[in-house]
Amino acid sequence: MEVKAVPEKPRIPPEKTKEMQERASKRNLILREMKNHGPSTIDELAKATGMEKSNLLKHLIAMGQFGKVFVVGKRDRQLVYGLPKEVESQAKSVT
């Protein structure tokens, strides 16, 4: 019986790993702010996190695609982003 070698998993280059860790760190910061202060606009999140609004928007869009944040309404002509539990509680209060 012939034993086949298991192919090695491809290694992620160190520079790519660092980039991925920084992105995760920023997204965790955004999520933490939203957990602590509730639904927030981009202006509010930018002030709280110190991130540029354009970068913040990119992170919110990406997190929205993964179901981590949702648009829960509007405030001062800006979209308000919230976490999934907040979306559920808003839906329950409307019905």
> CATH number of the domain that 75 lies in?
1.10.10.10
Q: How confident is the model at residue 86 (pLDDT cuts 50, 70, 90)?
A: low
Q: What is the pLDDT of residues 3-54, one digit of tens each?
A: 777 777 778 788 888 999 999 999 999 999 999 999 999 999 999 999 999 9
Assess if residue 32 is contained within a domain.
no
Domain count across the chain: 1
Q: Report phi then psi at 75, rounded to 5.
A: -145, 130
Q: What is the pLDDT of residue 89?
A: 57
Residue 53's domain spans which residues?
38-95
Spatial separation of the C-alpha atoms in residues 43 and 58, rounded to whole Å: 14
Angle subtended at Cα 83 by Cα 47 and Cα 77, rounded to the nearest 5 degrees: 55
Measured between its terminal Cα atoms, the distance across the chain in Å is 65
Question: If you average pLDDT over residues 83-90, what whole number do you get?
Answer: 66
Which neighbouring-strand residues pair with 70? Answer: 82
Assess if residue 76 is contained within a domain.
yes
Predicted TM-score of the model (pTM): 0.75
Q: What is the DSSP letter of 78?
A: E
Assess if residue 9 is contained within a domain.
no
Q: What is the pLDDT of residue 94?
A: 42
Beta strand spans in the chain (E):
70-75, 78-82
